[in-house]
Structure 1
Amino acid sequence: MFSSSSYDRLGGRGRGRGFYSAARRGSGQGQRSAAPGTPRSPSPPTGPVFTTIRYSELEADQASSSDARITGVEDVASYNWLKANEPTIITPGKPPKWTPTARPTKLPEDNPNGTYYRDPNAAYFPSYPMEPVVRSIFEARPDFNAQEVEVFGCGSTFGNLLRFARNVETEKPFRFLVEVVGETVFLIRRENSPKEVIADIRGYGHSFPEANTTWDADLQSSETHQRIIRYQLGHLNTIIRFEADGYFAENVPAKKTYSSPANREVNEDLLVSALAGNTISAHTPKNSNSLKLVQGQGPIPQSTVFDLKTRSIKRKHYDTTISDQIPRLWIRQIPFFVLAYHDNGLFRSEEVTVRNIKPDVARWESDNKGDVRKLVDLIEKIADVVKATAGRKLEVQYRYGHGLELREQVEGVASVLPNDLAAKWADQGNRAETTGVALENRSVDGAVDFEHESIEKGVALDEKSVDSLDDDEYDWDKKEDYTACSLESCNYCGHCSY
């Protein structure tokens, strides 16, 4: 089993991913060019306010101590977005593995003109960004009982709510959609447009992971790894989706016996063919608007996963990165944290540490029970309002000094899931497709035994890097008169209907 002390002095090679790296995989750096000076999309239109929740209204002592912690963590599913001519995921997926060397390495800065999507899921599949998540769940567990799930969100939406519950004042606004499907309240991340990007990137938040992690052979075309875990947040049965930076291969149990919907064998030549545009080896779910599913070779347990950040050596002695990251790691229940300091891009092994972060997360949870209770209360307040709303839909918008506004959704915004998948979710998943992923009648022993974005608060940095930014750091109130996105009738932001 992994010992954190054995990884205290590391260097690196290989290729992998960083905090916002969804657009830079593949050969070389995988960067996609972005036109300099491209204006940001305008904020989507808003509906009238139903009600406003203020921090002073949140209850810290409304429940027992069991409501002030996360329990029963389990992995549900995972997937990777792949480079392909059509939206394609491989499920189950894998993050890149940690592949370091001990030599000092001078790395180039991140490409400031690269395209770094704020929300890869929306960028790759704008019509229904949550569809790949739910499809992956039913591929992993056809009999999944969706009616047990009370709240379904992502690391970004939960991070924003946690900041509000902790009264972390910020002038940065955020928005997300809320919709009830069956018995589940979905919280859907919402950017200005599906292809909203982070501009003016500096630092080494991409180049360092690229040099220190490596995709497995069957995942060389991966863009990003997404994980779906379930746990009890107090008394709320909760599902969270988030992006993972990597995993430690030596931590994966040897000869683990996995179960899957069917025995399948992945042929790498077929996978390459599918990614080149021949989708014969991929399964297209019914009414999925061309989302392709490719069968993966097996999952990676949450106990092996890490989060990664880079920082300048100049701020090491007063650095608060670890303490700042604890709340977001608590939401994602990630057990390891890699922190790499550099001297103008030179990374030395003695300045790269791997830390078992679980004790730190447990202490934070114990010390912040009141805030955790407030988070649970906040989610319940939102759930009560949306369930009492006609259509069982609303939008949440935070504006500095205005509290948390619960608004009517504007016309033209698509539902969280396509009709067939929403019906399947509302019917406990009993109508899940049995055919799974057809791979030219080949089969393999798949694997679905799982065990397991926005900085919690800003830190003054001497470099602006994508892994140092809050994922909501842009102006929702810009009203420029230009098209919100380049997609025709994407139904993502509501502009298409105006």
Structure 2
Amino acid sequence: MIVISRAQLAYIALPSKAVITDVKHLSSYNWIEAPTPTIVVPGAPARWNPPKGPQQLAADSGDIYDAQYAARKLDCPLEPLFRSVHTEHDAFDLNAVDVVTDRGNIRKLLSFINPEHSDKYFKGFTIDVEVVQNTALFCRDEAVTAESGRDYGFWGHGCEFEKAYTVPRIAGSTAHHRVISYQFGGLHFLVRHETDGYVEDAGDSCGSVARAMQGLVLAPTTAPTRMAGSTLSVARGGEVVPLCATLEIKTHSLRRALAFSDLAARQLWVSQTPKLVRASHDQGRFDEPQVEDVTAQIQQWEAANQPILKRLAWLMQRIVVLAKASPGGRVRIKCHVPGDKLVISPYDGPKLLPADLYAKWTAKAPSSRPTSPAAAKETAENAKQNTKRVNGTGIGQSTAVTSMDPTAAHFHFGLPTPDATKGGLDKTPN
């Protein structure tokens, strides 16, 4: 077991930079209401279609899905991600990917690194990590899959706002998810996230594609099919909406300002979502909201928050190394309230994917793992920066590792390292 405290982050040797590069859209899908878990690929997000003038909206009510896969009794939470990728890119090379994760996992690790990026309802978190060949799969373990406003006293107006200001594109849809790829901290990521909508007039670079999407609600074009050994059905339908047209919607009371820095840390930067609607209301009365292009602001936030993001890059690398060194290539990350420590331990729970998806790695020869020149340079710089050692801190001696290099794997779960009494450190999340 490895314990990582937030205090240890002050001692780590940081990489020279931590920026997202080489962003690409890979796939997308919609969950739809059906007797069994069913997705439509590529699906489509809801279309931004604001009514004219002020609107009075009711408060949200009923249950809100926090983890669609678990609420729908899906055995393997990451399965829809991989089904959508291989439906749209049958020959996609998973051997070239270092990390597969939901946006929420990265947000949780950011909140560990800097509590200011956490929300007031922080309850701790659990993330399971499984290594398949060279790829680390991150999957959150959620005890709560659907929540009610009764749990917090009041949910707000977010769902009712989306009903009034967007038009669904896929019949029976309950959510639209997207998978993007990018380089960060010397690692190649696949990141899944939910998207609230898209705008037709998204600018010259992608506006024509987005405008072509307007029209009637789309039905699946093929009957749902299911792989042997899977509980998930997949249908084809919808249209690909470019990343540059995607939209995040946030509602808030006039009495509570919604700072861009909070949104960037929690969602926009991780998913590289370029459009934002901040809709303010007075007891449910909304004035006409505006769509903001926040691409430049996301880049500015990234530049201004390098100390935090460098720690995130270092932490992600370290978690991957620990998972690879663990028996069976699997670990569980737990962060309890008040959220100032991560506990990383071996894990022997259910597999994260159906058997046929594991074959997507073994069916291909090991990839040469090509990276862009910028990513290759970043990896080399990070390795150089992280060769430093920090001793004499007296922190976490019973489970410490002696090197601050996130790629060092010379540790043993449950046993002190040879130099533990010298006070070597381990990493911290978020």
User: Given the two structures, how large is their TM-score scaled by the length of structure 2?
Assistant: 0.76
Matches within 5 A, 1:250-399: 250-251=201-202, 252-254=206-208, 281-289=223-231, 291-315=232-256, 319-327=257-265, 328-349=267-288, 352-399=289-336
Deviations 1:146-194 (A, max 9, x none): 011101111110101112223548663111111111211111011115x
Letter in 2 for 1:421: L
- Contact kept, 8 Å, 1:153 with 1:188, in 2: the verdict is yes
- 1:223 is aligned to 174
Give, in whole Å, the separation in 2 of the partners of 1:155 and 1:320.
Answer: 20
Against the structure 1 CA distance between its residues 116 and 270, is the aligned structure 2 distance closer, same or farther, given a 3 Å change threshold?
A: closer
1:211 aligns with 2:164: yes
**Counterparts in 2 of 1:234 and 1:209: CA distance versus 1, 3 Å:** same
* Residues in 2 aligned to 1:135 and 1:401: alpha-carbon distance in whole angstroms: 34
Higher strand share: 2
Question: How many residues end up aligned between the 2 structures?
Answer: 349
Q: How far apart, in 2, do the equivalents of 1:402 and 1:97 lie?
A: 40
SS of 2:158's equivalent? coil
Match of 1:235 among 173, 186, 211: 186
Q: Distance in 2 between matches of 1:107 and 1:417?
A: 41
Where do 1:46-445 residues align within 5 Å?
50-58=1-9, 61-65=13-17, 68-111=18-61, 114-166=62-114, 168=116, 172-192=123-143, 195-200=145-150, 201-216=154-169, 219-251=170-202, 252-254=206-208, 281-289=223-231, 291-315=232-256, 319-327=257-265, 328-349=267-288, 352-399=289-336, 400=338, 403-409=341-347, 413-428=349-364
Instruction: State the partner residue of 2:395.
Output: none
Kept in 2, the 8 Å contact 1:309–1:340? The answer is: yes
Q: Report deviation, 1:387.
A: 0.6
Distance 1:168 1:311 in 2: 18
SS in 1 for 2:315: helix
How far apart, in 1, do the equivalents of 2:92 and 2:78 lie?
17
Gaps of 5+ in 1: 1-49, 259-266, 272-279, 431-498
- Give the SS at the match of 2:287: strand
Counterpart residue identity of residue 138, structure 2:
L
Answer yes or no: is the 8 Å Cα contact 2:148–2:155 preserved in 1: no
- In 2, the alpha carbon distance for the partners of 1:255 and 1:343 equals 36
Asked if 1 retains the 8 angstrom alpha-carbon contact of 2:58 and 2:284, the reply is yes
* Cα distance between partner residues in 2 of 1:314 and 1:167: 23
Query: What's the CA shift for 1:362?
Result: 0.7
CA contact (8 A) 1:60 1:370 kept: no
SS in structure 2 of the partner of residue 296 of structure 1 = strand
Report if aligned partners of 1:230, 1:240 keep a CA contact under 8 Å in 2: yes
Say if 1:143 and 1:428, in contact at 8 Å, map to a contact too.
no
Flag the structure with more relative contact order, 1 or 2, with Cα contacts below 8 A and sequence separation at least 6: 1
SS in 2 for 1:185: strand
Query: Could you tell me the TM-score, scaled by structure 1's length?
Result: 0.66
Q: Deviations over 1:292-313 (max 9, x none)?
A: 1111232101100111111112
Q: Is the 8 A contact 2:252 2:258 kept in 1?
A: no
Secondary structure in 2 matching 1:92 = strand
User: Aligned partners of 2:54 and 2:218: how far apart in 1?
Assistant: 34
The CA distance in 2 between the partners of 1:285 and 1:93, in whole Å, is 19
Contact 1:61/1:370 (CA < 8 Å) preserved in 2?
no
Q: Once the two structures are aligned, what percentage of the paired residues are identical?
A: 30
Two-structure CA RMSD over aligned residues (Å): 2.4
Cα distance in 1 for partners of 2:155, 2:255 equals 16
Residues 429/338 of structure 1: CA separation in 2 closer, same or farther (3 Å cut) = farther
Deviation at 1:322, TM superposition (A): 2.1
Change (3 A) 1:378 1:255: closer
SS in 2 for 1:89: strand
**SS of residue in 2 equivalent to 1:209:** helix
Compute the displacement of 1:70 (Å).
Answer: 0.3
For residue 43 of structure 1, what is the aligned residue in structure 2?
none
User: Do the aligned partners of residues 269 and 145 (structure 1) sit closer, same or farther apart at CA in structure 2, a change above 3 Å counting?
Assistant: closer
Q: Is the 8 A contact 1:99 1:212 kept in 2?
A: yes
Contact 1:157 1:187 in 2 (8 A): yes
Q: CA-to-partner distance for each residue in 1:279-324, whole Å, 9 max, x for gaps? A: x8222123222x1111123210110011111111233xxx143221
Tell me, yes or no, if the aligned pair for 1:76 and 1:230 is still in contact at 8 Å.
yes
Q: CA offsets per residue over residues 39-68 of structure 1, 9 Å max, x none?
A: xxxxxxxxxxx1112223346653233xx1
Q: Which runs of 4+ in 1 moved over 6 A?
A: 267-270
Check conservation: 1:108, 1:345, Cα contact below 8 A: yes
- CA 1:415/1:164 → structure 2, altered by over 3 Å: closer, same or farther? same
Q: Which amino acid aligns with 1:79?
A: Y
